[in-house]
Every structure is written in structure tokens, then in C-alpha cells.
Amino acid sequence: MISIQRLRKDFGTRTVLNELDLEIPAGQATGIVGPNGSGKTTTIKALLGLVKPTSGDIMVDGKSISGEWEYRNKIGYMPQIARYPENMTIGELFQFIKNMRGSDTNRDRELLEYFELDNEIDKRMRALSGGMRQKVGAILAMMFDPEILIFDEPTAGLDPKSSVQFKRLVHREKEKGKTVLLTSHIMSEIEELTDHLIFIVEGNIRYDGPMRELMELQQEQRLEGAVAKMMEETAA
């Protein structure tokens, strides 16, 4: 379970996260949605220890992450925009990370085959297409079989077949009992993959609860309509 308590982040004079209180349920998939610049990535980065909160706390499995790093071994993260050592081949990159983690997992091979990247293993990172880089990011997030999976706009740039493959994989991870946290602007994807929904606007939580309840509340069959209504209400 991830518990976020009165999390505040200011960049200069701007408050980007305004005392957020959130419980991210274990063993479920949670979607974070909201307009551009509303604080989704900053929330994720604070959880990963990549952004230092101005105040507030984040607990993972009952323990504060402040000053800690070991909890990160429980997390697999696929960033929105990933930066890699561009001179390394895919194979070298995976081996490098396995060496750092002291792991001899073969899961990277399975995932490379799954995403049909097994013939590209000797290609340098700088020579990969945008979609291939996304797939490398997805594999890096999942290869150590972490308890918590965080995906920041994972299918942006994936072709429809790869996007379906990715979603199937996330379903499988959910079935294994993993905690999944996902941001996306594609509401059908959030609807397909998540059970719990968080809607953030300008660093404030506007909805935090079961996705189905929100759709019932807004009397909408589809999440897209329900979120659009919430956005209109916020703008009014």
C-alpha cells in the first residue's frame, strides 16, 4: 500500500502539488488523470524519490520513504520520456542494469521476444524508433518482477498492436496481484486497465475512488464522458 500524506511541492513560488492525501490500494490498478501540467508526473516522481517534497510524507508498506532508497527495489517505473546511454545496445543496457542489481533474471529475454525486439538486441539505443524505446522502457520496468509497477503514459508512441500487447501484459501483472499506477490521456486505456481513479487538477485532488462509481455519479457509460464532465465542472 502506498500512502501519500499532505504532499506539497512548490517549484519557486508555484505550488504544483497542494497538500495531497492519497491512498493507492495494493493489488489494484490505479489511474491518475488530469489536464496537462496538473501534477501527475510530479506525484509519481515524488513517490520515486526523484522530486523532493516541500512538505508532507509518502509511506510505502507502512514506512516513510524520506531518505530511503531500498523501497525502490519494489518498484518498476516506465517514465514518460526515458533517457538512456545512447551508445549502448539493447543487450548491453539490460546486462548493465542486471549487473547493477546483482540479478541474473531471464525475464528480459522473454519480454524482448514478447515485444518482438529479440532480433534488435544488438541495435544501439540511438538507432531505435520511438516505439522501440517505449518497449525497452516497458521491459525495464517489468524485468525484475517488482511488486509495484508505475507507467507514465506508457502507450504514447506505440502502434495499435504493441499497445494491445502492452495492455495484455499489464492485465497479467494485475492478475498476479501487482499494484499498478498508470497515467494516461487515453481514457479508454484507463478504463480498460484500472479499477481506482484519481483525478487531479492544478495539484488538487478532485476525485479519488472507484472508477465505476465516478461513471455512475456522472451518469456516463464511458470514462471519457465522465472525466470530460468533471473537467467542465472544474473550468466553470
Ligand X SMILES: Nc1ncnc2c1ncn2[C@@H]1O[C@H](COP(=O)(O)OP(=O)(O)OP(=O)(O)O)[C@@H](O)[C@H]1O
Residues that bind ligand X (CB under 6 A): 11, 16, 34, 36-42
Which residue number, 26 or 81, has a Cβ lying nearer to ligand X?
81
Report the residue number, 65 or 90, with the smaller CB distance to ligand X: 65
User: Quick one: the chain helix, strand, coil %, rounded to 5?
Assistant: 40, 25, 35
- Map residue 105 onto helix, strand or coil: coil
CB of 16 or CB of 181, closer to ligand X: 16
Nearest CB to ligand X, comparing residues 13 and 119: 13
Nearest CA among 63, 123, 68, 67 for reference residue 94: 123
Per-position b or e across 78-105, b if 16+ CB within 10 A of its CB = bbeebebeeeebbbebbeeebeeeeeee
Residue closest to 198 by CA, chosen among 176, 213, 216: 213
Which C-beta is closer to ligand X: that of 82 or that of 97? 82
Q: How far is the CB of 77 from ligand X (least distance, A)?
A: 14
Helix (H, G, I), strand (E, B) or coil at 113: helix
Least distance between ligand X and beta carbon 180 (Å)? 17
- Tell me the HSE value of 31 on the side-chain side, using a 13 A CA sphere: 28
Q: Which cell numbers in the block locate residue 12?
A: 519557486
Q: How far is the CB of 49 from ligand X (least distance, A)?
A: 14
**Under a CB-based contact definition with an 8 Å cutoff, are residues 21 and 6 in contact?**
yes
Q: Which is nearer to ligand X, 179 or 184 (CB)?
A: 184
Question: Whole-number minimum distance, CB 102 to ligand X, in Å?
Answer: 32
The nearest distance, CB 142 to ligand X, in angstroms, is 22
CB 34 to ligand X: min, Å: 6
The least distance separating ligand X from the CB of residue 53, rounded to whole angstroms, comes to: 13
Residues 6+ apart with CB under 8 A from 87: 124, 125, 126
Residue closer to ligand X by CB (options 17, 128) is 17
Query: Residue 96: enclosing H or E segment and its boundaries?
Result: helix 90-101
Let me know if 106 is exposed, middle or buried by CB neighbors in 10 A (0-12, 13-18, 19+).
exposed
